[in-house]
Structure 1
Amino acid sequence: MTTRPGAEPEASDSAVALTAWLASLVRNHDYASLAELRRPRVQLEPHFRALWFSPDEAQREVYAQVAFLFAIYHQGRSRPAYGYGSLGEAARRIGSGDRRGPEDPGAARLIDRIVSSRRIPWRHLQHAVARLRACERQPPSWARLVDDLTRWHDRKARVPYEWGVAFHIPAARAAATRSTALPAASSPEKDSLT
């Protein structure tokens, strides 16, 4: 997954393929398959189709669970929502009126539970998706969600930390902080000392 400054990270081919298949279920009004995906304890054909997109066995749970979250969000919808941004950015959209994201106490508690979890917090992610649906707000990018959750335990990726930053710090301020931090890391004084 590569990232251009100020742009949405490119999602993996397998995550994009899963998202395209899930969106086709909504576009084709295949409500039976979407309903089956919302029943995680009953493994039927749509569950196995979601697993086909996983590049390896270690990632299968992520693909199955994101398919479940997608089906939860799209219950009763006739058009697919591909979403945008990370889950942290999407959680900023939770709330009503002028109390959204960090200003909404429920959203703040929810994201704090998500980012402080060592294991992937499936229940809290389900709650976040349900809240976005109830608020009629766009979900996170489904393809990016797959890739982020696949890298949840990768300490270099720092997915929970990045979601927390995206939630608590406005996007323009976070981008400015990152752009000012990059030149400082390669300042002439630092280079002359090494």
Structure 2
Amino acid sequence: MNVLAPQDARPQPGQAHQALAHWLAYRVRTFDQRALGALNPRTSRGQIRKTQAYCEAVRHAETDADRPAFGLTASLFALYHAALPWRDGVRLYGSGDLGQALRRVGTGAFQGPKDPGCQRLFERLVAPGPLHRKEVLLQHAVTRLRTQDRFPPSWAQLAADLSGWAARGEPVQDAWAASFWTPAHRTPTRTNGDA
């Protein structure tokens, strides 16, 4: 019997998610600081301001239900690139999911699950609850990645994950937990004598 791993049950990035990631990367590549600054569209009361950059980011969503996830992803991208917009590919597009990214947070032997602050943050992130209640935690996670000079998650994967946050069975939270708590699977290196 072929059973899907938790990572396979969550939504995978589609064309809309990739288009958002490319659009966001282009803002950094062209030094569009005005658009990056406008991607954090919250007022002091927590309401969303419909800035031009925000509207351009959420227009990539295929459904109205995905628009908040696309807006949040764009806001987190702008937060990560706020102080110093990196232009290399890994920082522009990210790598892995948020669980893998948070596994890189910390110093020395105390990274990811071994870093008590990171562990608490992660446990609060994957605890049951609606996406709008996780926004501040996601901002803290991205800020920690930025301040510790760690690679961000794949922005396309993050948009897909946030779009599927409320899915039955919590496949996104399960996939993030698997990425955070378990070491990366390493393929054995071949030598010339191996078949």
How would you bin the TM-score normalised by the shorter chain? Answer: 0.7 to 0.9
| 2:157 pairs with 1:144 | yes
| 2:90 pairs with 1:77 | no
- Cα deviation, 1:18-45, whole Å, max 9, x if unaligned, reads 0100000000000111011124333210
Q: Of 183, 189, 192, which residue of structure 2 is paired with 1:170? A: 183
Structure exhibiting the larger radius of gyration computed from Cα positions: 1
Instruction: State TM-score, norm by structure 2.
Output: 0.80
Query: 1:81 Cα deviation (Å)?
Result: 2.1
Whether the aligned pair in 2 keeps the contact of 1:29 and 1:78 (CA below 8 Å) is no
- Cα distance in 2, alignment partners of residues 157 and 85 from structure 1: 18
- Cα distance in 1, alignment partners of residues 136 and 86 from structure 2: 25
Q: Of 2, 11, 14, which residue of structure 2 is paired with 1:12? A: 14
Could you tell me which residue of structure 1 aligns to residue 105 of structure 2?
A: 94
Could you tell me which residue of structure 2 aligns to residue 63 of structure 1?
A: 70
| 2:55 pairs with 1:48 | yes
- Cα deviation, 1:105-157, whole Å, max 9, x if unaligned, reads 01100100000032121111111001000110000000001111111111256
| 2:136 pairs with 1:134 | no
Could you tell me which residue of structure 2 aligns to residue 103 of structure 1?
A: 114
| 2:174 pairs with 1:161 | yes
Q: Give the match's secondary structure for 2:128.
A: coil
Q: How many pairs were matched up?
A: 170
Whether the aligned pair in 2 keeps the contact of 1:40 and 1:68 (CA below 8 Å) is no
Query: 1:70 Cα deviation (Å)?
Result: 0.2
| 2:44 pairs with 1:36 | no
- Cα distance in 2, alignment partners of residues 110 and 132 from structure 1: 12
Q: Give the match's secondary structure for 1:172.
A: coil
Q: Percent identity?
A: 38
- Cα distance in 1, alignment partners of residues 112 and 142 from structure 2: 14
Query: 1:165 Cα deviation (Å)?
Result: 1.6
Select the structure with the greater relative contact order (CA < 8 A; seq sep ≥ 6): 2
Query: 1:56 Cα deviation (Å)?
Result: 0.9
- Cα deviation, 1:152-190, whole Å, max 9, x if unaligned, reads 1112561112211211111228x9xxxxxxxxxxxxxxx
State the one-letter code of the partner of 2:30.
N
Unaligned runs of 5+ in 2: 44-48, 188-195
- Cα distance in 2, alignment partners of residues 162 and 52 from structure 1: 27
- Cα distance in 1, alignment partners of residues 40 and 172 from structure 2: 25
State the one-letter code of the partner of 2:85.
R
Instruction: State TM-score, norm by structure 1.
Output: 0.81
Whether the aligned pair in 1 keeps the contact of 2:112 and 2:118 (CA below 8 Å) is yes
Tell me how large the CA RMSD over aligned residues is: 2.3
State the one-letter code of the partner of 2:57.
A
